[in-house]
A = this chain, B = another copy of it.
């Protein structure tokens, strides 16, 4: 099996199963009610302070309508807090609750393990090659 074929295989599998993979990593024990999508929203809100709907929607690449639905559910589940801004009453500020921050940190561990699993046993030169390939992949996707 040549490298092109193999790369293709891995990427196709990744594309097809990425949601399932993430879901499995997230939905463990305490955080059974968090979907992969929920986690993307949590990641976008971030640990730091509160952000308004429009900016979070933009960084997720969804409409604010879509985000409203997602936030409704996250508020109901207790991961996110929603507060109307005092300076501008049109603006809704969303932030992570205690529970939301814990879930976020829990998910970061999954990321770290994943990265660790990939990078471990690669020499500095090998890591550089991987980085080079990924930058290219990223560039390919952005254009």
- Least Cβ–Cβ distance between A125 and chain B, in angstroms: 8
Chain B residues with CB below 8 A from A136, complex form: 117-118, 120-121
Contact string against B for A residues 39-75, beta-carbon threshold 8 Å, 1 for contact and 0 otherwise: 0100100000000000000001100000000000000
Contacting B at CB under 8 A, from A4-36, are 4, 6-8, 10-18, 20-22, 36
**A15 & B22 in contact (Cβ 8 Å cutoff):** yes
Q: Which residues of B contact A3 (CB under 8 A)?
A: 119, 127-128, 130-131
Residue of B nearest to A139 (CB): B117
Number of A residues, CB within 8 Å of B: 50
Q: Which of A90-139 contact B (CB under 8 A)?
A: 111-115, 117-122, 125-139
Which A residues fall within an 8 A CB radius of B? 3-4, 6-8, 10-18, 20-22, 36, 40, 43, 60-61, 111-115, 117-122, 125-141
